[in-house]
Amino acid sequence: MVDRRSSVVDGWWDGGGTVYEVFTEAWAKAWCQALNGDAQYANAARQWEGALLLKMTPDPAYGIETPRAVWADLWHGRCREARVAREGDEAGADYVLEGPAAVWYDLLTGRSNPLAAILRGQLRLTKGNLMRLLPFTRAARLLVEHAVAIGTRFPKSPDPNP
């Protein structure tokens, strides 16, 4: 289990190694590599087929001045590619999860989980079928845990005690 609260703060991470700014090219590549190194993820996502786009709306309190999005090609428990989203990626993605920076921050600090955020309407599935995602709740949890484990940070943290 990843210690989420110690991983995402204002430029500080006590887990050692490199820290990647959230939803950047380096972050996406490190996330993909982490997923591919995990047999638990491979098993939990072995039936998953399709591209996923994660989209963050701006919030200056978190240092996110413009929208950010990451596209990942996930296929039968493997991340074939992950990168900053390009024009056309949203239209081509099978699933799009969108939310404000504050919600992504909460997910990446362990204060929330993806399914709970979706059910509360904090994170919106703007493309794709929620019922088709339900069998992959364990895989979704591992997607988030790996995003934290790689050393994720936001440009700013409004939380004085993350």
Please report the pLDDT score of residue 115 as a whole number. Answer: 75
Q: Which residues contact 162 (CB under 8 A, 6 or more apart)?
A: 5, 8, 9, 10, 109
What structural domains does the chain harbor?
A: 4-153 (3.30.1050.10)
Question: For the residues 91-119, what does the mean pLDDT come to?
Answer: 87
Q: What angle do CA 136, 141, 144 make, to 5 degrees?
A: 125
Contact yes or no for 126/69 (Cβ under 8 A): no
Supply the mean pLDDT for the chain: 84
pLDDT for residue 13: 38
Long-range contacts made by residues 111-114, C-beta under 8 angstroms, separation at least 24?
Answer: 113/140, 113/141, 113/144, 114/140, 114/141, 114/143, 114/144
Tokens 């090219």 appear where? Answer: 25
Q: What is the pLDDT of residues 31-67, one digit of tens each?
A: 999 999 999 999 999 999 889 999 999 999 999 999 9
* Dihedral sign of CA atoms 149, 159, 96, 118 in order: positive
Give the model's pLDDT for residue 22.
Answer: 93
Range among 16-30, 45-59, 109-123, 141-155 rated most confident: 45-59
pLDDT higher than threshold 70 for residue 129 = yes
Q: How far apart are the first and last CA of the chain?
A: 18
Q: With bands split at pLDDT 50, 70 and 90, how would you rate the model's confidence at 137?
A: confident
Report the predicted TM-score, pTM, of the whole model to 2 decimal places: 0.84
